[in-house]
Amino acid sequence: MGTSTDIVSLRINHSRAEHAASSKQFHLAVMHYRTCLEAAELREDCQAAQFFSLQLAICYENMGFIDKALNFRALSCAKDILLE
């Protein structure tokens, strides 16, 4: 079973990720944000992919995984270049 790309599934996963992050359950937030990022990439939605990359970076920073956070921050910035 692949990642669902419909907007309803994306919104549900985003809501779950936000709830987990606000509860400081960053491992769950990362799981849901990764699903969102994959769906955004499959939808070829650069702005959504940029947003979810940034959210992943924030979660990883909170978890103390600075290298992963930097990689996702770079990915979120790389999306800007693709949009120009």
Question: What per-residue confidence (pLDDT) applies to 80?
Answer: 52
Is the pLDDT assigned to residue 84 strictly greater than 50?
A: no
Specify the pTM: 0.86
What are the residue boundaries of the structural domains of the chain, listed by start?
7-83
pLDDT tier at 3 (50, 70, 90 boundaries)?
Answer: confident
Contacts 24+ apart (CB under 8 A), 19-26: 21/55, 21/58, 21/59, 21/62, 24/62, 26/59, 26/60, 26/62, 26/63
Q: Where are the alpha helices (DSSP H) in the chain?
A: 7-22, 26-42, 46-63, 66-83
**pLDDT tens profile 4-22:** 778 899 999 999 999 999 9
Span 47-76, mean pLDDT? 95
Question: What per-residue confidence (pLDDT) applies to 62?
Answer: 97
Q: In the CATH hierarchy, which top-level class contains the domain 7-83?
A: mainly alpha
Over the chain, what is the mean pLDDT?
Answer: 90
